[in-house]
Amino acid sequence: MTMRIGYWDAFSGISGDMTIAALVDAGAPFDELRAGLDSLGTGATFRAEKTRRKGITATWFHVDFEDQHKHRHLPHIVDMIERSQLPPRAKQNAARVFQKLGEAEAHVHGVPIEKVHFHEVGAVDSICDIAGACLGMELLGIEEIHCSPINTGSGTVNTEHGVLPVPAPATARLLTDVPVYAAGPAMELTTPTGAALAVTLASQFGAMPPMRIGAIGYGAGTRDVPVQANVLRFTIGTRTNASEATTVSVLEANIDDCSPQVLGFAMERLLDAGALDVTLTPLLMKKSRPGSLLRVIATPESQEQLAALIFLETPTLGLRIHRAERRVQSREIVEVETAHGKVRVKVSGEGSFAPEYDDCRKLALATGVPLRQILSEASLAYFRLSK
């Protein structure tokens, strides 16, 4: 059965109401969604209306309730979710989101998670947004979520704790190790609720995964900003075997006055630390000095760690860092048996294959058989196996 996946495009940030609105816009049945939210017993009512943001038709979702000025603790919220009529997985996911949110708030305020007052986050609208988003995923049959790098916004935001920088402390804590950036208006684009939904439910952050698109929904933010469409786009599709597009960070440095041994060691350290690829290219630098271009391809999450390692292991005083899109074919590993031992063979989605060098090298050293012979025998073994 083909997996049904969803992709959040948070180019204008993400919040709880934008998330549930995008799900409704993508086809989640509003009557079933409302029935599930009614079972929470909050006494709130719900509206989903069509609106426009910079010429894009989107759905705006709103929770109407009487402000009770209540501060809720995590166990109270989890109990509300458990007593509701939400499907089991929606209950589980909603509780996970609030747990993640509670951990962030506890860290920011320096108190045990049991003592966290959820204030704005624990308000009725946020409880309904989180529970509704998890229910919407179930109603649409979404099995896996991916998310783009997240636009946090910039400037400051007014909270119960006073004026705070954007992203707010809890949001910043939640987005640790997630690719983020700030663009557009000086305002809060990503809320703690939206950040908690993204980091809890998304399995991967980056470019859109390979999929056959089935539906697209747009969830409207509360404000219509002048420079961009303030919407969260949600794309639903089925997974395909197309080449995968991923976002990577490319780190570059021009290096001279450095011995080859030091550069070789730096390459080893970078690969061991998780770099996707490391290359050295000869350069002729200013004043006709010979040098090397060090280029490192990394996941956005490991960018800063690898940058620090480059400064540690090389004499460079500066780096260039930019984002790039990397296309990766679907692939699998097949193990074959040769006369000298087992060898793994990497096979692409288009059918091309190559024996794993490390396996062949290990067998060559252990048996004394030439490496090229091991490579040939492994290729022949796979060719026979695939017939």
- Average confidence (pLDDT) over 322-334: 83
**Could you give the CA distance from residue 239 to residue 3 in angstroms, rounded to a whole number?**
6
Q: How far is CA 361 from CA 244, 339, 380, 381, in A?
A: 30, 15, 17, 17
Residues in the chain: 387
CA–chain centroid gap for 25, Å, is 22
Q: Does residue 373 have a pLDDT over 90?
A: yes
Higher pLDDT, 90 or 349: 90
- In the chain, the percentage of residues whose pLDDT exceeds 70 is 96
Q: Where are the domains of the chain?
A: 4-240, 245-328, 331-386
Q: With a threshold of 0.85, does the pTM exceed it?
A: no
Q: Does residue 246 have a pLDDT over 80?
A: no
Q: 333 φ, ψ to 5°?
A: -110, 130
pLDDT, tens digit, 9 for 90 and up, residues 10-32: 999 999 999 999 999 999 999 99
Confidence tier at 286 by pLDDT (50, 70, 90): confident
- At the top level of CATH, the class of 245-328 is alpha beta
**Could you give the CA distance from residue 63 to residue 80 in angstroms, rounded to a whole number?**
17
Name the 3-class secondary structure at 242. Answer: coil
Under 8 Å CB-to-CB from 111, ≥6 apart: which residues?
Answer: none
**Could you give the CA distance from residue 162 to residue 86 in angstroms, rounded to a whole number?**
36
What is the per-residue pLDDT for 379? 94
**Could you give the CA distance from residue 116 to residue 110 in angstroms, rounded to a whole number?**
9
pLDDT, tens digit, 9 for 90 and up, residues 66-113: 765 566 778 888 999 999 999 999 999 999 999 999 899 888 888 888
For residue 183, count CB atoms less than 10 angstroms from its CB and return exposed for 0-12, middle for 13-18, buried for 19 or more.
Answer: middle
Most confident of 136-145, 161-170, 256-265, 297-306: 136-145
Higher pLDDT, 5 or 226: 5
Q: Does residue 240 have a pLDDT over 90?
A: no
What is the per-residue pLDDT for 365? 96
pLDDT, tens digit, 9 for 90 and up, residues 150-192: 999 999 888 777 888 999 999 999 999 898 999 989 999 999 9
Please state, rounded to an integer, the average pLDDT across all residues of the chain. Answer: 91
Q: Does residue 207 have a pLDDT over 90?
A: no
Residue with tokens 């030439």: 370
